[in-house]
Amino acid sequence: MPNYFKIDLETEEALSVLREIDTDPEMTQRALSSRLGLSLGKINFLIKALIEKGLIKAENFKNSKNKSAYLYTLTPRGLEEKTNATYRFLKRKMLEYERLEVEISQLKKEAGIVDIPGNIQSNIPS
């Protein structure tokens, strides 16, 4: 039996699931799988882990013809964790972006590329 407490909530996948559930609580695991480009098994594992950690809860639809349909909602703790994880993810991505800007600038310099607004010109013959 998997230990869902070992899930890393810092992954983009876990954050994406929290964000999608917050946006559309009626989304099925199959729809989440399709929307996020993750396998259905991975979505199932993430959902179970998030439930076990108390970040989301699942309730059966009362008026659903499909009795296995669930309504996933973020718990107050889940909302807090989603906000914190979004902030940490944004910080990581901004740092990554800044590093890429420096690297791109260095590569342009090495390649003799000069930026002109609206244009990129090279001193290298074609």
- Where in the chain are the domains? 9-112
**pLDDT top residue among 69 and 36:** 36
Architecture of domain 9-112: Orthogonal Bundle (1.10)
Contact 92, 32 (CB under 8 A): no
Orientation of helix 40-52 relative to helix 12-23, angle to 10°: 80
Give 123's pLDDT tier (boundaries 50, 70, 90): low
Share of the chain above pLDDT 90, in %: 68
The mean pLDDT of 76-84, rounded to a whole number, is 95
Give ∠ CA 57-59-62 in degrees, rounded to 5. 160
DSSP E strands in the chain: the ranges are 56-60, 70-74, 113-116, 119-122
Phi-psi region of 109 (alpha: psi -120 to 50; beta: other; left: phi over 0): alpha
